[in-house]
Every structure is written in structure tokens, then in C-alpha cells.
């Protein structure tokens, strides 16, 4: 059983605006609505790779209902706790303006709702996987990840944590199976600037010394580094190609490693830049071996698959993504 937790999921409203002007009425040239949140991204990528998971977290209001509906469209099972007040947040992403975003707050989560989540996590046992990803809402205790890892400690649950700064550092004493900072987040923890794959390795090893079993460091255009529990340091350059949307790339990377672990495969490879030489990349987990495969990551690219599906739905129901919509009698919007 694989479970993902997203405390503060969202509906991401992604729009492009040609020639955006402050203080003026602007009209979109394209728009897209996607379920958002790091844990949710992981569940969708897992489904694309043929593995089932259950998405945990909190939803509220009509936006929460829409979030669940859209996850169902992707075939993702969910077991969200419904909050009786507020609404699941909507995050506005201005795609055409250097990644400018306006993110909502989300509903308040009280102590009763927190305990409901804990009771769901009590079902997990030997061999199950729990993915904790993203930030913690301001209404929740800032040690929430620690509480969860403490509660499931000793049950044989493999835990994966994707968080920043103190949120990540404080869970390391509970020996998470995998942590995945990017190079900037890793540098923030130790107060340094890290730009190359060679530079991140000693600091990734420090996370292991602090308790992490395996450390996966994503570095955007620089590729990624995997520091395995057995001491191997494995590097991979970024795949070449045209970037369509970078959102969900880190989740895709982490999820593909989980996919390899669950399938028990060991034939996946790190690509070596500039030649055809390849090296095996594995993480020992009992009798299973986790693998890290950039080819799978490319094929399962989260946003690419979603955008294709959304384009089809938009075409069938409303118009075309990426083009001006046409409404009879009104012209283009």
C-alpha cells in the first residue's frame, strides 16, 4: 500500500496572458485547471506508471469536491478528510509572466481533523510506503511531520519526505527511507550555495549522518544526485529536450524511484552524458531494490500527461487550450 499526504491541496488555475498590463483588464490566451499539491502529484505519476496509491489530506467546499472529481478522472484513489468550513484553495499561476503565482490559504484544520488523519495512518504496516510532501499550513502544528513519523515508528513503514529546512531536518532522527531536497533547499539547510552535482554530494552525506537513509537531490537543468544507503553516489545529467512545464518534475523524479522499489527492478540506468556507458543505480530495501531511471521520468512526466488529457477534454467541451476560445456570437475571449 502506498499513501501520499497533502495537507493543503489546491486547484491550480494556470493561465497565459499575452501582453499583461497592471491596472488593466487582461484576458487569457490559454487556461488550464489541474489538481495540485506535491503528494497529489506523486499519486498521479504513480498511476501513470501503473501503481495504485491512496491520496490522503484535507478538502473543503465546492473546490474540494472538484479536486476529488479531477483525481477520479486520473484514476487516483483518495481518502480525504472533509472540513466543514472554508474551501480548498485555488492557486493562480500566471504562466506567461516569469512564473508569477498567487496562492490561496486553504481551510483551517483543527485538532479533531488532525486526529482523524492519524487514525487513517494507523492502518499502515510492514512494507507500506508513506509519502509526506510539501509545506504545512499555518493552522497546523509545525512539528506535524515529526508527529507522524513518531506515531508510525517501528511498524516497518517506508517513509519518504519532501520538505524544506527545519521541516526536513527535524524528521531525520526518525530515519526516513528517502528525503528529496533540491540543491537550493539543501544549501539553505547548511547556509551555502550549491550549483553543481559535485558540490551537493558532501552535504547530502551530512543528511545521511543526521539520519536519512537515502538522499535524492534534484537540480533542475543540472540533473540529479542519488546518495544511496549503501554509500554509492550516483549522478545523472538532465534529459535533453524542450521544457514544457517544470511543475511536478521533482515529484516525478522521486516517484519513479519509488516505482522501481515497488517493482523490484534493477535494470534501470543512469545516463552518462556524452557517451553510451551506463551504470546501475539501486537502493537496497530488504529483498527489493529501488531504481532511478530518467527514461521512465521522461515518459511519465506528470504535467505533460495531464495537459494532454486536459487539452482533449477542453477540446470536447469548451474549445482549445493554447488558442483563443471562440464562443458563438461573442468572438474570441
Query: What is the average pLDDT across 180-189?
Result: 90
Residues 79-95 pLDDT 10s? 999 999 999 999 998 87
- The per-residue pLDDT for range 293-312, each reduced to its tens digit, is 333 333 334 344 444 444 44
**What pLDDT is stored for residue 257 in this prediction?**
56
Look at residues 266, 261, 270 and name the one whose alpha carbon lies nearest to residue 290.
261
3-state secondary structure 105-126: CCCCCCHHHHHHHHHHHCCCCC
Evaluate if residue 245 carries a pLDDT over 70. no
For the chain, the average pLDDT equals: 76
CA distance 103 to 137: 12
Give the C-alpha separation, 29 to 20, whole Å: 11
Band of the pLDDT at 285, cuts 50, 70, 90?
Answer: very low
Q: What is the mean pLDDT of residues 234-252?
A: 61
Q: What is the CA radius of gyration of the chain?
A: 20
Q: Strand runs (DSSP E) across the chain, as ranges?
A: 2-6, 10-16, 30-36, 54-60, 77-78, 81-83, 89-94, 100-102, 129-133, 158-162, 178-179, 214-218, 224-227, 233-236, 269-271, 278-280, 282-285, 288-291, 326-327, 331-332
CB atoms within 10 A of CB 140: 20
Return the percentage of the chain with pLDDT > 70, whole number: 71
Query: Higher confidence at residue 203 or residue 302?
Result: 203
Q: Which phi-psi region, left, alpha or beta, contains residue 248 (left: φ > 0; alpha: ψ -120 to 50)?
A: left
pTM (whole model) above 0.75: no
**What pLDDT does 18 receive?**
86
Give residue 293's pLDDT.
39
317 pLDDT above the threshold of 80: no
Q: Where do we find the cell 486547484?
A: 11
Domain ranges of the chain: 2-16+30-318
The larger pLDDT score, comparing residue 110 to residue 219, is at 110
pLDDT range class, residue 7, cuts 50, 70, 90: very high
Q: 129 and 258 in contact (C-beta within 8 Å)?
A: yes
Mean pLDDT of the 196-222 span:
90
Class of domain 2-16+30-318 as given by CATH: alpha beta
Matching residue, cell 474549445: 319
Question: 279 pLDDT exceeds 80?
Answer: no
The mean pLDDT value for 220-245 works out to: 76
Amino acid at each position: 500500500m502506498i499513501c501520499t499526504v497533502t495537507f493543503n491541496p489546491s486547484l491550480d488555475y494556470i493561465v497565459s496572458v499575452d501582453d499583461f498590463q497592471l491596472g488593466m483588464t487582461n484576458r487569457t490566451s490559454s487556461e488550464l485547471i489541474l489538481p495540485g499539491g506535491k503528494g497529489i502529484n506523486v499519486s498521479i505519476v504513480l498511476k501513470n506508471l501503473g501503481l495504485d496509491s491512496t491520496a490522503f489530506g484535507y478538502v473543503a467546499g465546492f473546490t474540494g469536491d472538484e479536486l476529488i472529481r479531477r483525481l477520479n478522472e486520473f484514476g487516483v484513489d483518495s481518502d480525504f478528510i472533509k472540513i466543514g468550513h472554508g474551501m480548498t484553495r485555488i492557486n493562480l499561476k500566471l504562466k506567461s509572466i516569469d512564473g508569477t503565482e498567487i496562492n490561496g490559504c486553504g481551510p483551517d484544520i483543527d485538532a479533531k481533523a488532525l486526529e482523524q488523519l492519524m487514525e487513517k495512518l494507523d492502518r499502515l504496516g510492514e512494507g507500506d510506503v508513506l509519502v509526506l510532501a510539501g509545506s504545512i499550513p499555518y493552522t497546523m502544528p509545525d512539528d506535524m511531520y515529526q508527529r507522524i513519523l513518531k506515531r508510525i515508528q517501528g511498524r516497518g513503514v517506508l517513509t519518504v519526505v519532501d520538505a524544506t529546512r527545519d521541516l526536513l531536518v527535524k524528521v531525520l532522527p526518525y530515519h526516513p527511507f528517502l528525503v528529496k531536497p533540491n540543491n537550493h533547499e539543501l544549501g539553505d539547510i547548511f547556509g551555502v550555495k550549491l550549483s553543481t552535482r559535485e558540490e551537493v554530494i558532501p552535504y547530502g552525506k551530512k543528511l545521511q549522518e543526521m539520519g536519512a537513509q537515502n538522499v535524492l537531490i534534484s537540480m533542475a537543468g543540472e540533473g540529479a544526485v542519488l546518495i544511496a544507503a549503501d554509500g554509492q553516489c550516483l549522478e545523472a545529467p538532465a534529459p535533453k529536450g524542450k521544457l514544457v512545464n517544470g511543475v511536478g518534475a521533482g515529484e516525478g523524479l522521486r516517484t519513479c524511484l519509488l516505482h522501481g522499489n515497488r517493482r523490484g527492478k534493477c535494470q534501470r540506468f543512469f545516463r552518462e552524458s556524452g557517451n553510451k556507458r551506463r551504470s546501475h543505480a539501486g537502493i537496497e530495501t530488504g529483498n527489493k531494490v529501488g531504481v532511478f531511471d530518467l527514461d521512465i521520468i521522461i515518459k511519465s512526466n506528470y504535467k505533460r500527461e495531464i495537459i494532454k488529457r486536459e487539452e482533449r477534454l477542453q477540446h470536447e467541451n469548451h474549445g482549445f487550450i493554447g488558442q483563443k476560445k471562440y464562443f458563438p456570437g461573442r468572438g474570441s475571449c
